[in-house]
Structure 1
Amino acid sequence: MTEKIKLITPRLPRGFEDRSPGEIAAVDAMIGKIRQVYERYGFDPVETPLFEYTEALGKFLPDTDRPNAGVFSLQDDDEQWLSLRYDLTAPLARYFAENFEALPKPYRSYRAGYVFRNEKPGPGRFRQFMQFDADTVGAAGPEADAEMCMMMADVMDALGLAGKYVVRVNNRKVLDGVLEAAGVAGEEQKLTVLRAVDKLDKFGIEGVRLLLGAGRKDESGDFTRGAGLSEAQAGVVLDYVGGKPPADNAGIAELAAMQALFDAAGYGPDRIRIDPSVVRGLEYYTGPVFEIELTFKVQNEKGQDVVFGSVGGGGRYDGLVSRFRREPVPATGFSIGVSRLANALKLTGNLGAEEPAGPVVVLVMDRDRTASYQAMVAELRQAGIRAEMFLGSTKNFGKQLAYADKRNSPAVIIEGSQEREQGIVQVKDLVAGKQAAQAITDNAEWKAARPGQFEVKRQELVSAIQQLLGEQG
């Protein structure tokens, strides 16, 4: 009696996703447009590995023996902790510090790739997702920050989102000054206040007031604990959020300098806007912060109209590279969430969602003539045409045709013994065939009409396929 083998259930891990050829092609096209803008601004590509030494990732690491909260970690054979990168910025800081002498200053680079978060997955929250970053390391002035904002705007325009976005800009120095004036002490309380300010668009002034105080209960009854500020303290913060800037603040001067650059370059408030509610959650920002917000409405899971929201952002992080070097190294940059931006483009009709065209398929009508079919495939490939010979086991014509259809093939090539004797091949235009089939309701009529099918001389096969593909576009 043979032992029954237990089959493994095929399961996609939670927080990860598979991508189809159509999705890959659409995102690649989007990334290509972003890359063109980055390179037009003078940025060059650089690639860092998926793994870094865990200590290089810095701010995300917990104080535990096994650094595996927030990041995915392992130990190598030297007992060194390695972690999958959490973002693309910390690896850039390591790369710049390690290659400091060889790199130009300022150093302008862009990077695209997957990052990993060891966090609980949920709707729209993944453990692996793609980012596309651009950074300038070694430039201290607001000019570098302003350039990032203008480049973000140009990226949105290049993707067909003109009029559907705004780049919102603030400065952490302004926020720090407001917190100091309000008497907010302690890092935890500061972060709670900043998170409350960040919810202005979502909850409005009154919602922020509650989060600055004891806390806020939402419609479901869930309670979010507040920052515990007094009414007077909360008033200082709310005055700022409401548009009353603090006097004598270095951040205000930097924002004014950036605004002058936006005006000079022709970027109006419809594209780039100073906004006191922009916080950005990461703790390492030290100056200007900015984010791209898409302003069109979408429906949430409850069927309510909401603004699509942020698809990327960044800011100045002058302290990050200094973790590796004693001297201060200024830096600024931004990151685009590729998957979220692709979803936005899909909603606006600006993301090519069609499956890419498959290969021309040479059907195998006679098994003892495979060398002849392979010769056709080779000729097509040498002419730069995607092509393949059917390699399945079935001899059934209909099933081979169904295979080509599932491959999104533009055409199939048919050569039976009769065609071979006459020195011809049959070409079936699957695109025209589908269009013609929509007007034919009778199966017998469809078979008799053989829509989209024509014959060509064998020696003219390549030129006939080239012409067909050109007509299909």
Structure 2
Amino acid sequence: MSDMPAAPRPEARAPRGFSDRRGDGALAEQRIVQTLARVYERWGFEPLETGAFEYADALGKFLPDADRPNEGVFALQDDDDQWMALRYDLTAPLARFVAQHRETLPRPYRRYAYGPVWRNEKPGPGRYREFWQCDADTVGSDRPEADAEIVAMALEGLAALGLGTGEAVVRIASRKLVNGVLQAAGVEGAAQTLTVLRAIDKLDRLGPEGVTLLLGEGRLDESGDFTRGAGLSTAGVEAVLAFLAVPAEGPRSAVLDALDPIVGATPAGAEGLADLARIDAALKAFGVGAEARFDPAVVRGLEYYTGAVFESELVADTRDDRGRPVRFGSIVGGGRYDGLVARFTGEDVPATGASFGVSRLAAALRAASLDRTAEARGPVVVICFADSDMGAYLEAAAELRGAGIAAEVYLGRAGMKAQMKYADRRGAPAVVILGGDELAAGQVTLKDLDAGRAAATGIADHEAWKAARPGQVTVPRGELVAAVRHILE
């Protein structure tokens, strides 16, 4: 016998920011993707799949968490010394695909895509390192109406997921308006611009006072960490705050009228106002009303946006498993990114799109008690009594599956009581019993588990419950499928 010490057993644990999903959780995300895909196809978008890895230089450096290791991505070096990284969204791979196949693609090119993406960032409520997105993009159209179409389609997607009027609102702005206020505030250079954008993006979380500090010298947070500010002058800070103070309530045209004296005199601001006016007209033609609003505070985190931007949050009370209020942030967002394909080709290719955060949306719907996904139902379970009758059990399950009913034979080695408990944990609607008596008589006994649970709540005495046998019925073997279908219906 070896004297070597046994190797330590690893602790079974999932990495932070990565989650396991089963049953209802997995089905909720599948339902979101399937629902959105149907909406996208109705609007004339075709599917596209790209690989999980892209070369790092093709992905570009557009993530806001640039202070994280690997600048926000998970990267590795290939055997040819080229760096590859897991995609952080589905838009950067689209830009690479369009550049690579531009000679054969229709223009505009309308595609939708879904799948997991990865970001090397700090996890939090509804914020994961691996999560699913479901996107739709139009590449090759510079018309503001293309932006309006994406917004209207996103709202249709939210409605298709069961969100009613007032449960989600899309807020729209334009990077051109932001560029106009930056010009008015005297902002210079990419670094200062990025700092101002990040400050604006934190308005909802920090309020005007926190943003004022970030626009100026900087802000000391509750943990004692200091965030360096943009260093704007007093006049520059006032210009940005006046821009952010424009109310997003009321008609979209009224918001544009309020923004005109603030940014309309700058070239970028005037262009942004003109674009939003056309988006407003297109949204009206689509029948989109107050559920889409103009809000100058929307800037979006990714740096590649060049024009209209938008995002949507749930307008509902969201709480975690302990009942504590929690905020999930944007569940769908997007905008115009006219320079992304040009990184590869040098040719300006306008583009606009929307991205649903599937994992975050599913978590937010659960937290707001708005998940319309039906509870996951397991298969009908055929109880196993004796090895000698296994053929009869397998035939019954096969007959049910042939009729389109999910079914399985219990293939463990436990007794009747444990098998019933197994069926309950699986969420089975019914169990099939083919014991010796049933087989001899050419019959089958069915237990309607839902009916049994419901009846049990009204029967206090255990013996009375056994005598009543709630939810149990015996029928001829030839009526198995019809009887199970009756239970399911």
Fold-level match, TM-score > 0.5?
yes
Q: Secondary structure at the match of 2:61?
A: helix
How far 1:117 sits from its partner (Å)? Answer: 0.9
Deviations 1:408-449 (A, max 9, x none): 111111122222222212111111111111122233332232
Per the alignment, residue 314 of structure 1 pairs with 334
Q: CA 1:224–1:71 in structure 2 vs 1: closer, same or farther (change >3 Å)?
A: closer
Find the aligned partners of 2:159 and 2:73 in 1 and give their Cα distance.
34
Question: Which letter maps to 1:367?
Answer: D
1:134 matched to 2:151: no
Q: What is residue 9 of structure 1 aligned with on the other side? A: 11
Distance 1:73 1:455 in 2: 61
Change (3 A) 1:357 1:279: same
How far 1:305 moved relative to its partner? 6.5
Question: Which shifted more, 299-308 or 329-338?
Answer: 299-308
Preserved CA contact (<8 Å) 2:62 2:303: no
Post-superposition shift, 1:326?
Answer: 2.5
> Residue 256 of structure 1: CA displacement?
1.7
The yes-or-no answer on 1:390 pairing with 2:413 is no
Which segment drifts farther, 41-50 or 417-426?
Answer: 417-426
Task: Render the CA deviation track for 1:117-166: whole Å, top value 9, x for unaligned.
Answer: 12233343211011111110000121111111222222222232321222
1:93 matched to which residue of 2? 95
**Aligned pair in 2 of structure 1 residues 15, 77: CA closer, same or farther (>3 Å)?**
same
- Once the two structures are overlaid, the 10-residue window that deviates more, 107-116 or 288-297, is 288-297
Query: Could you say if the C-alpha distance between residues 204 and 21 of structure 1 is closer, same or farther in structure 2, counting changes exceeding 3 Å?
Result: same
Taking the aligned partners of 1:186 and 1:302, their CA distance within structure 2 comes to: 45
Equivalences for 1:3-42 in 2 at 5 Å? 4=6, 6-42=8-44
SS in 2 for 1:328: coil
The one of 209, 214, 225 equivalent to 1:211 is: 214
- The match for 1:154 is 156
Correspondence list, 1:66-465, <5 A: 68-159=70-161, 160-218=163-221, 222-243=225-246, 244=259, 245-248=262-265, 249-268=270-289, 270-298=290-318, 309-352=329-372, 354-394=374-414, 396-465=415-484
Write out per-residue CA displacement over residues 82-129 of structure 1, whole angstroms, 9 at most, x where no aligned residue.
211111000011111111122110001111111001223334321101
Rounded to whole Å, the distance in 2 between the matches of 1:371 and 1:303 is 50
* 2:253 aligned partner: none
CA contact (8 A) 2:328 2:360 kept: no
Fraction of identical pairs, as percent: 54
Q: Verify the 8 A CA contact 1:30 1:351 in the aligned structure 2.
A: no
1: CA distance between counterparts of 2:80 and 2:108? 35
> Alpha carbons of 1:166 and 1:122: their partners in 2 closer, same or farther (altered >3 Å)?
closer
Offset from partner CA, 1:223-257 (integer Å, 9 cap, x none): 43321111122122223223343224211221222
Aligned to 1:467: 486
Q: Which whole-Å CA distance do the structure 1 matches of 2:465 and 2:287 have between them?
A: 60
Q: Give the secondary structure class of the aligned counterpart of 1:167.
A: strand
- Take 2:284 and 2:477, find their aligned partners in 1: how far apart are those partners? 65
Following TM superposition, by how much is the alpha carbon of 1:218 offset from its aligned partner in structure 2, in angstroms? 4.5
SS of aligned partner of 1:393: coil
Q: CA RMSD in A?
A: 2.6
User: Structure 1 344/379 Cα, relative in aligned 2: closer, same or farther at 3 Å?
Assistant: same
Q: 1:306 to 1:127 in 2, by over 3 A?
A: closer
CA distance in 2, matches of 1:455, 1:305: 50
Distance 1:194 1:173 in 2: 12
- Quote the residue 2:254 is aligned against: none
Q: Mean Cα displacement is larger for which, 111-120 or 162-171?
A: 162-171
The verdict on how the C-alpha distance between 1:167 and 1:450 changes in structure 2, with shifts beyond 3 A counting, is same
Offset of residue 306 of structure 1: 7.8
Structure 2's unaligned 5+ residue stretches are 247-258
The amino acid of 1:441's aligned partner reads A
The one-letter amino acid paired with 1:240 is: F
Contact 1:23 1:353 in 2 (8 A): no
Given the superposition, is the C-alpha separation of residues 306 and 78 from structure 1 closer, same or farther in structure 2, using an over 3 Å criterion? closer
Per-residue CA deviations over 1:351-396 (Å, capped at 9, x if unaligned) read: 13554211111111122111122121222222222111110112x2
Say which is worse superposed, 167-176 or 1-10, in terms of deviation. 1-10
For residue 44 of structure 1, what is the aligned residue in structure 2? 46
What is the identity, as a one-letter code, of the residue corresponding to 1:20? R
Q: Which residue of 1 aligns with 2:251?
A: none
Instruction: Tell me, yes or no, if the aligned pair for 1:87 and 1:116 is still in contact at 8 Å.
Output: yes
**CA drift at 1:81:** 2.3
- Separation (CA, whole Å) in 1 of partners of 2:83 and 2:346: 24
Q: Give 3-state SS (helix, strand or coil) of 1:364's partner.
A: coil
SS in 2 for 1:324: helix
Cα separation, partners in 2 of 1:306 and 1:452, compared to 1, 3 Å: closer
Q: Secondary structure at the match of 2:316?
A: strand
Counterpart Cα distance in 1 of 2:323 and 2:212: 27
Q: 1:72 to 1:205 in 2, by over 3 A?
A: closer
Change (3 A) 1:300 1:421: closer
CA 300–207 in structure 1, closer or farther in 2 if over 3 Å, else same: farther
Aligned counterparts of 2:375 and 2:286: Cα–Cα separation in 1 = 39
